[in-house]
């Protein structure tokens, strides 16, 4: 029997997939589309998925696409990529840089750029879909690939859910997604628990009294009022939130007045809040209102301030067991290129999907910056200054090894639930005294000497009951004594094999 893992088997086709992926990526990069306008991208995605043999549903929540590939009984895994670009003028100087413009929701013509790297996500997920479809003897179960619109507005996932996503997708065991980040290309980073912040944007309108610039005594100056609010808001995080609790409050935009000698009658501030904890979120939002109202009273404004919430994102909190399984797969495949992802202050609406489906999820980071460039900046202590991050007009993921790594990561992640060899590799947990089980690419190992081992395998949905086998002295018996169907026989056999392997050590 071949010792090749399922991942190695599926990824043997990467050499062919890579050829069209690189061209496809550059094409999508040159044709970025704003949130809810991803028509060209969505139809390119649908066409390719159909070609790979997926059942394809288009127009889900607007421009969303869901592809489904059934491959016998087993678990079901959902992989998600977002598709939208940003109103940013690209300044990367790349030969395939975007010069595109589009009309935004407000009716203005704006430059458009894939400044968040969602073109990487689309390309990698399509590549993974082709590879999985081309190696169906290496896995069983159902693969769901989801291409989501409008992540940048925070409502793309919700719109897919409202449009009947749950019925369309069916039962799923795990939902997974990745994001390209300003980290060394070739690496992937997982993180258990909090990984991305919750985000809230708030528009605050304060009212003053307009007058001639030479007669301030007749005015209530909204520009001075807005300036005081901006300064006072700096104390929310620094004075009201514990230093151990991460939170961000940014005033991203301030608009007031039209001319140097005219005192206007209003000012509008746009704020952005990032938090990881619901009570911190409430404290910050409440403090903002209190300070704005207080400053308006101090200025004696003729009417109350107005508050409008928009672009709200939930916190992303990775499930521990799902992330552990993912990390085990990544470590086996990538070695030390599988790392721990630092806590991110950005936000995502991905978690709206698993929340609606009622399934655990994990979201990991994918490096996109040339590794040497990154290391040099790191050595000089200049990462923050020299490495353009997502949303920068200079953000430019290197094509390779970024696309390869992102594609490999998705395949390895899916196979952690669907791979034919996974049950042999992941025999968790070990029950017994002081035993710790570690899955490796060749098998599962327990760190303490064994007298008895219980191997349990999380059951794919189709098997309805989680069965395991208790092995003692090299013999194994099914825990519940019920007849074994063929996949379970595999498990039972592997338990015996693993047990013998452990005893022979
Ligand atoms: Zn973004
Ligand atoms: Zn993004």
Domain ranges within the chain, ordered by starting residue: 6-193+316-420, 198-313, 423-504
Using alpha carbons, select from 156, 113, 127, 114 the residue that is nearest to residue 23.
127
What ligand has the least distance to the C-alpha of 148?
2
How many angstroms separate the alpha carbon of residue 86 from the centre of ligand 2?
A: 9
Count the Cβ atoms, other than its own, within 10 Å of residue 200.
Answer: 22
- Token pair belonging to 350: 């991905």
- Token pair belonging to 344: 């991110």
**pLDDT over threshold 90, residue 445:** no
**pLDDT over threshold 70, residue 503:** no
Does 138 or 428 have the greater pLDDT score?
138
Q: Determine contact, residues 464/490, Cβ cutoff 8 Å.
A: no
Q: Determine contact, residues 174/353, Cβ cutoff 8 Å.
A: no
DSSP state of 86: B
What ligand has the least distance to the C-alpha of 86?
1
What ligand has the least distance to the C-alpha of 117?
2
pLDDT digits (tens, 9 = 90+) for 276-330: 988 999 999 999 999 999 999 999 999 999 999 998 999 999 999 999 999 999 9
Confidence tier at 422 by pLDDT (50, 70, 90): low
How many angstroms separate the alpha carbon of residue 392 from the centre of ligand 2?
A: 12
Distances (CA, A) of 60 to 51, 165, 294: 19, 7, 45
Model confidence pTM above 0.85: no
CATH code for residues 198-313: 3.30.70.360
> What size, in residues, is the chain?
505
How much is the pLDDT for 411? 98
pLDDT digits (tens, 9 = 90+) for 207-239: 999 999 999 999 999 999 999 999 999 999 999
19-33, 184-198, 403-417, 451-465: which range is least confident on average? 451-465
**pLDDT over threshold 70, residue 475:** no
How many angstroms separate the alpha carbon of residue 358 from the centre of ligand 2?
A: 23
Confidence tier at 482 by pLDDT (50, 70, 90): very low
120 Cβ contact partners less than 8 Å away, ≥ 6 residues apart:
25, 180, 366, 368, 397, 402, 403, 406
Rg (CA), the chain: 26
- Token pair belonging to 193: 């628990």
- Token pair belonging to 153: 């507005």
**pLDDT over threshold 50, residue 261:** yes
CA 246/CA 242 separation, integer angstroms: 8
Bridge partner residues of 470 (DSSP) = 454, 477
pLDDT digits (tens, 9 = 90+) for 82-133: 999 999 999 999 999 999 999 999 999 999 999 999 999 999 999 999 999 9
| Residue whose token pair is 């790349």 | 94
What is the average pLDDT score of the chain? Answer: 87
Share of the chain above pLDDT 90, in %: 81
- Spell out the CATH class of 6-193+316-420: alpha beta
Confidence tier at 470 by pLDDT (50, 70, 90): very low
What is the DSSP annotation of 467-498?
Answer: -EEEEETTEEEETT-PPPPHHHHHHHHHHHHH
How many angstroms separate the alpha carbon of residue 63 from the centre of ligand 1?
A: 18
Using alpha carbons, select from 314, 327, 319 the residue that is nearest to residue 361.
319
Q: Could you tell me where the beta strands, DSSP code E, fall in 216-331? A: 247-256, 262-263, 266-275, 306-313, 316-318
State which residues have CB under 5 angstroms from ligand 1, the bound ion: 116
**pLDDT over threshold 50, residue 463:** no
CA 205/CA 229 separation, integer angstroms: 11
Using alpha carbons, select from 179, 312, 292, 315 the residue that is nearest to residue 245.
315
SS3 (DSSP) at 222? helix
Confidence tier at 2 by pLDDT (50, 70, 90): low
How many angstroms separate the alpha carbon of residue 401 from the centre of ligand 1?
A: 21
How many angstroms separate the alpha carbon of residue 190 from the centre of ligand 1?
A: 19
How many angstroms separate the alpha carbon of residue 261 from the centre of ligand 2?
A: 42
CA 380/CA 183 separation, integer angstroms: 16
Q: Determine contact, residues 205/305, Cβ cutoff 8 Å.
A: yes
Confidence tier at 420 by pLDDT (50, 70, 90): confident
How many angstroms separate the alpha carbon of residue 80 from the centre of ligand 2?
A: 12
How many angstroms separate the alpha carbon of residue 292 from the centre of ligand 1?
A: 29
Query: Which run of H or of E encompasses 247?
Result: strand 247-256
How many angstroms separate the alpha carbon of residue 493 from the centre of ligand 1?
A: 47
How much is the pLDDT for 4? 82
């Amino acid at each position: 029997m071949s010792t090749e893992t399922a991942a190695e088997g599926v990824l043997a086709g990467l050499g062919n997939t890579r050829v069209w992926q690189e061209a496809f990526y550059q094409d999508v990069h040159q044709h970025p589309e704003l949130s809810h306008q991803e028509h060209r991208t969505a139809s390119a995605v649908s066409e390719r998925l159909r070609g790979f043999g997926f059942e394809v549903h288009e127009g889900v929540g607007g421009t969303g696409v869901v592809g489904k590939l059934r491959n016998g009984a087993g678990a079901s895994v959902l992989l998600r990529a977002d598709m939208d670009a940003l109103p940013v003028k690209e300044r990367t100087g790349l030969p395939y840089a975007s010069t595109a413009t589009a009309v935004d929701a407000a009716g203005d013509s704006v430059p458009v750029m894939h400044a968040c790297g969602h073109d990487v996500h689309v390309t990698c997920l399509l590549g993974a879909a082709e590879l999985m479809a081309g190696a169906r003897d290496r896995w069983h179960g159902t693969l769901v690939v989801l291409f989501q619109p409008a992540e940048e507005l925070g409502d793309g996932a919700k719109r897919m859910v409202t449009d009947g996503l749950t019925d369309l997708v069916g039962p799923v065991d795990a939902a997974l997604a990745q994001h390209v980040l300003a980290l060394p290309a070739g690496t992937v980073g997982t993180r258990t628990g909090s990984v991305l912040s919750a985000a809230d944007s708030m528009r605050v309108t304060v009212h003053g009294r307009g007058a001639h610039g030479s007669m301030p005594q007749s005015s209530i100056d909204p520009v001075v009022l807005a300036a005081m609010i901006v300064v006072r808001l700096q104390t929310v995080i620094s004075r009201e939130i514990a230093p151990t609790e991460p939170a961000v409050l940014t005033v991203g935009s301030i608009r007031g007045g039209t001319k140097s000698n005219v005192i206007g009658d209003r000012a509008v501030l746009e704020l952005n809040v990032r938090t990881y904890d619901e009570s911190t979120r409430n404290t910050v939002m409440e403090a903002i209102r209190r300070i704005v109202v207080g400053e308006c009273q101090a200025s004696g404004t003729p009417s109350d301030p107005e508050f409008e919430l928009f672009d709200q994102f939930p916190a992303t909190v990775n499930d521990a067991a799902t992330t552990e399984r993912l990390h085990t797969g990544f470590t086996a495949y990538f070695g030390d290129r599988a790392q721990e992802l630092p806590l991110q202050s950005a936000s995502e609406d991905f978690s709206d999907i698993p929340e609606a489906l009622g399934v655990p999820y994990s979201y990991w980071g994918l490096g996109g910056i040339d590794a040497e460039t990154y290391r040099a900046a790191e050595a000089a202590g200049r990462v923050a200054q020299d490495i353009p991050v997502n949303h920068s007009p200079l953000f430019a993921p290197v094509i390779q090894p970024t696309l390869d790594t992102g594609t490999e990561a998705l395949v390895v992640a899916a196979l952690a639930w669907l791979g034919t060899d996974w049950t042999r590799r992941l025999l968790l947990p070990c029950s017994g005294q002081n035993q710790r089980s570690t899955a490796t690419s060749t098998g599962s190992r327990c760190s303490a000497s064994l007298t008895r081992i219980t191997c349990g395998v999380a059951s794919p949905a189709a098997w309805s009951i989680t069965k395991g086998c208790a092995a003692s002295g090299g013999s194994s018996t099914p825990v519940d004594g019920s007849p074994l169907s063929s996949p379970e026989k595999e498990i039972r056999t592997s338990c015996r094999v693993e047990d013998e392997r452990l005893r022979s050590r």
